[in-house]
Amino acid sequence: MQTIKKHRRKKILGSYPYTTVVFSITLALFVIGLCGLLLLYANRLSNLIRNQIEIQVYLDKYLEASEVTRVKQAIGVRSYLLHEDGVPQIQFVSRDEAAKKFIQETGEDFKTLLGENPLRDALIIRIKADFYEARQLRLIKQDLEKIPGVFEAAYMENVVEKMNRNIVKISILLIGFAALLLVTISLLINNTIKLAMFSQRFLIRSMQLVGATSSFIRRPFVSRAAFQGILGGLIAAGLLFVLLRYAETQVEGLGQLHHLPSFLALTGGLCVIGMLIGTLSAYRSVSRYLSVSLDELY
């Protein structure tokens, strides 16, 4: 008869639930990183939408080509004008092109009714996303209308103001949710490390009994917790990157919102948050066990 021996792993003094702690920190930081990504993508999306809004600059009638060029040059040096790849975003639309487009869209030829084309030559410009506040747009409109040769500047004022209000509301909502989530995550990581330190309480007392100073006892635990926080942040960022790549294959156009420097900054932020919370939690937990009596350890 063959005897089967069962081996049980016994918990030894100083054993540490390393994997559990890293997993908990990673999961917590992944959730807060996901919220951070929503904030980043919402900001990128709002900038893209704002950059698509156009201002129509209507010119005086019967301007010569040289005068139109002068107006374009005057607008081109404005600080609020958007440039893409070094090219100012100014498009000239002649009155004939505008009339042809209007007839195609409406099916009505107003030339037969009026006997002439009442439309004006126009410059369609796009401005930087930083200048889309209502007050700034009004100042831009006034500035454009002061340029000689400009008859009027116009934009969809109601649409812009409504869009700005919605962007502010969404930003406040996301920031509030992120702040609440950060507090919850901090408590979760703190409790995880406190439980890990609970398994080390006898080792801490043993080191204390042989004469180790408090700073000497704290140092390895605090360093380990800081490293676990950084490691958890890196793993969480890696998981977020994989999730983003998968989402980009499923959602058309999502890749346009991806911005590598912002994602790297988010990764750094996750590592810093994990390191700070881990360090503070480990420091407080070790300090607590350094000050309790032997009876309170059981």
Q: Is residue 1 part of a domain?
A: no
Q: What is the pLDDT of residue 292?
A: 64
169 and 32 assigned to the same domain: yes
Distance CA 21, CA 180 (A): 22
Q: Is residue 11 part of a domain?
A: no
Whether the CB-CB separation of 109 and 139 falls below 8 Å is answered with no
Q: Is residue 2 part of a domain?
A: no
36 and 148 assigned to the same domain: no
134 and 112 assigned to the same domain: yes
Q: Is residue 72 part of a domain?
A: yes
The candidate with the shortest Cα–Cα distance to 285, out of 75, 16, 99, 2, is 16
Q: What is the pLDDT of residue 113?
A: 61
Q: What CATH number is associated with residue 136?
A: 3.30.70.3040
269 and 182 assigned to the same domain: yes
Q: Is residue 3 part of a domain?
A: no
37 and 113 assigned to the same domain: no
Rg (the chain; Cα; Å): 32
93 and 116 assigned to the same domain: yes
Work out the end-to-end distance of the chain between its first and last CA atoms, rounded to an integer number of angstroms: 44
Q: What is the pLDDT of residue 295?
A: 56
Query: Which of 114, 135, 155 is the last residue before a domain boundary?
Result: 155
Q: Is residue 12 part of a domain?
A: no
Query: Which of 114, 129, 155 is the last residue before a domain boundary?
Result: 155
Distance CA 270, CA 218 (A): 24
Query: Which of 94, 122, 155 is the last residue before a domain boundary?
Result: 155
85 and 125 assigned to the same domain: yes
Q: How far is CA 244 from the centre of its chain?
A: 13
167 and 282 assigned to the same domain: yes
Q: Report CA torsion sign: 211, 215, 218, 219.
A: negative
The residues facing 293 across adjacent strands are none
121 and 61 assigned to the same domain: yes
Q: Is residue 286 part of a domain?
A: yes
173 and 145 assigned to the same domain: no
In tens digits, the chain (298 residues) has pLDDT values of: 344 444 444 444 344 567 888 888 898 889 889 888 888 888 888 777 777 778 899 998 888 888 988 999 999 889 889 888 888 889 988 887 877 777 777 766 666 666 567 778 899 998 887 887 878 888 999 999 999 999 999 887 777 777 777 777 887 887 888 888 878 877 877 787 777 777 777 777 777 777 777 788 788 888 888 998 899 999 999 999 999 888 888 887 777 788 888 899 999 999 999 899 888 888 888 877 777 665 555 5
172 and 266 assigned to the same domain: yes
- 253 class by beta-carbon count within 10 Å (0-12 exposed, 13-18 middle, 19+ buried): exposed
Whether the CB-CB separation of 260 and 267 falls below 8 Å is answered with no
DSSP symbol at 252: T
The candidate with the shortest Cα–Cα distance to 19, out of 182, 181, 192, 188, is 192
Q: Report CA torsion sign: 26, 30, 36, 37.
A: positive
Domain that holds residue 28: 18-47+163-297
Q: What is the pLDDT of residue 13?
A: 39
84 and 131 assigned to the same domain: yes
In the chain, how many domains are there?
2
Stated pTM of the model: 0.68
